[in-house]
Amino acid sequence: MGFWVECILFALLSLALQYVGGCDFFRGKWVPESDPSSYPVYNSATCPFIEREFNCEKNGRPDRNYLTYTWQPHDCNLARFDGEDLLRRLRGKKIMFVGDSLSRNQWQSLTCLLSTSVPNANYTIDRVDDVSTFTFMDSGVKVMLDRNVYLVDVVRENIGRVLKLDSIQSGKLWKGIDMLIFNTWHWWNRRGAAQPWDYIQVGNKTYKDMDRMAAFRMALTTWGGWVDSNIDPSKTMVFFQGISPSHYNGTDWNEPTAKTCQGQHQPLLGSTYPGGLPPAVAVLKAALSKIKKPITLLDITNLSLLRKDGHPSIYGLGGRTGMDCSHWCLPGVPDTWNQILYNIILNNKAMHS
């Protein structure tokens, strides 16, 4: 009963978070772009540093239809992404994505959108340990990525690699950042050789394994405590990238003969995904409802569920020997995530210069 009460409370809270300027940016449908010649905004020529695993065009994807759809909210129009304007608003500020490869997907999208908007801008790209920094020299804007798949710590000890659900020492990297966009989920169900830990620790108790959804909930609670203890809302905007979905089972979108996302060329019509939302969404929203400091959920799950056509499939890092229906082609769906992020910033007076 308590869990569902939390979900209802979050639904009420999200009215304030999502209805920016009286519009819910996350409820809508995908429509063909009215001027296809203007899309995509960038490609592998105008953004030559797209990472290979996201560069579907360069990897040989023959169809381009997936590049010509735009997200249309039900109750308003999204302002087109304007990189020059965003760099002006964020002059001298630091933006950091914190999370797994889906955060990297969105970080890469934003760097491409910005650099294409100002093609003659001077920029540098640096990496120190797990943090990459894309710096626009003229505006002093830093767009950063901290690779952190669980948010909480994984520590090597005598018994092996320990996932500590109540420890978040890596939070020291997030202090002093003007805008933080967090994400975690993609790695929580990894098992076998792909699992980067050997034990789970909660307090003084160590477990060989535990219910992964319960572990996810505990980690989000620890992260929420860090936010409440360390974030000054007058100095830092905090976002959480919602659960980015995968498409490995066509039954979920009423196409049972489809075993993967390969060969999907267009979005689902309408606004509702037949297979419903992943259970992790409810856990995330319940955890966010407990955090006292303001956090904006980039509630990208449903709009991304409708884009079964947007994944690399065999045009990703693994090529024809792999099948990637988890990440997203660039250009592609993460550009819309960033367009919505930009529209939220437009409506946030604190970010106006």
Q: Which residues form the catalytic set?
A: 101, 324, 327
- State both tokens at 162: 């320990």
CA distance 326 to 51: 15
- State both tokens at 12: 């009420």
Q: Per DSSP, what are the bridge partners of residue 324? A: 313
What are the helix (H) ranges across the chain? Answer: 2-18, 83-89, 101-117, 212-230, 279-289, 301-305, 333-346
CA distance 52 to 59: 8
CA distance 269 to 207: 45
271 burial (CB, 10 Å; 0-12 / 13-18 / 19+) is: middle
Interacting residues of 204 by C-beta distance below 8 A, sequence separation 6+ = none
Is the Cβ–Cβ distance between 329 and 61 less than 8 Å?
A: yes
Interacting residues of 323 by C-beta distance below 8 A, sequence separation 6+ = 248, 260, 261, 262, 313, 314
Backbone angles phi, psi at 240, to 5 degrees: -125, 120
